[in-house]
Amino acid sequence: MKIKKRGTPEEGDIVLATVVRVAPHAAFIELDNYDGVEGLIHISEISKSWVKNIKTFFRDRQKVVCKVVDVKRPGFIHASIRRVSDYDRRAKWDQIKHQRMVENILEMVAKKLKKKPEKLYEELLPLEKKYGGLYFAFEEAKKKGKKLFEGIPGSEVLWEVVNKRISLPTVRISGILRLESRAGNGIERIKKLLSGVDADVLYLGAPRYRLSVSGMDYKEAEKKLGEIVKSMQKEAGKTETVSFEREKKK
């Protein structure tokens, strides 16, 4: 199924479109996520540099990310490619990837429940509105469990598919740990300090080690790394020195 929005997008919206016809001075488009909305991209809105031949930029049925610059009338827009920033373009493709994942999940669940995907989508509209999109609702369910789907017909099947298909994003951070001991059995004491560490430890050459941890976001990973270092500093004796510095990206 294809999830379609009703109405016409607003000026400034970033949209995905399909090129349906190329004229000498404009490309005519259909908006993928809006039902029955068409538009055009004028040759002056293709690139920041001069465009000699519009056909070198477009081919039939090509997918393009563009920005709505004018709504001429309900169901018809003027759009621009040159006004789309690299950030907005990447963000839109991420959104498209998420939507396709949602559509696949709806089709799988609907098939198991023997109902139409459109009907299932209607039943999930409250979740879409609450979380700003079904993909974000599915991510939240992955974090908190199937209780998020309570009250939804076929919730057990929905949870089974979402739990299998959705993977939470992770980030990885690292830092350099300096660990020294002046005790006679210093090597053994250092090994003991490192043995209970819930992180990946890479020996870089005494007294330096690289600690690496993963988390769902940078805040969580930073907290985890900080707690590890504090715990080691607390366990270290008077003969040990524990210091840590976050490793910066180059």
Q: What is the pLDDT along the chain (250 residues), one digit of tens a residue?
A: 788 888 999 999 999 999 999 999 999 999 999 999 999 999 999 998 999 899 999 989 999 999 999 998 889 999 999 999 998 999 899 889 999 999 999 999 999 999 999 999 999 999 999 998 999 999 999 988 999 999 999 999 999 999 999 988 788 889 999 988 888 888 888 888 888 788 888 888 878 899 899 887 788 888 888 898 888 888 887 888 888 888 765 4
The CATH superfamily label for domain 14-83 reads: Nucleic acid-binding proteins (2.40.50.140)
Q: Over the Cα atoms of the chain, what is R_g?
A: 27
What's residue 235's pLDDT? 83
CATH 3.30.70.1130 domain extents, the chain: 171-246
CATH 1.10.150.190 domain extents, the chain: 87-165
**87-165 is classed in which CATH architecture?**
Orthogonal Bundle (1.10)
What's residue 205's pLDDT? 85
Q: How far is CA 93 from CA 15, 89, 97, 170, in A?
A: 10, 6, 6, 19
Q: Which two tokens stand for residue 175?
A: 């830092």
Helix (H) or strand (E) holding 179: strand 171-181
CB-based burial, 32-63: b 16+ in 10 Å, e otherwise: bbbeebebbbebebbeeeebeebeebbeeeee
Q: Enumerate residues 6+ apart whose C-beta is below 8 A from 218.
A: 171, 173
CATH fold for the domain made of 171-246: Alpha-Beta Plaits (3.30.70)
CATH 2.40.50.140 domain extents, the chain: 14-83
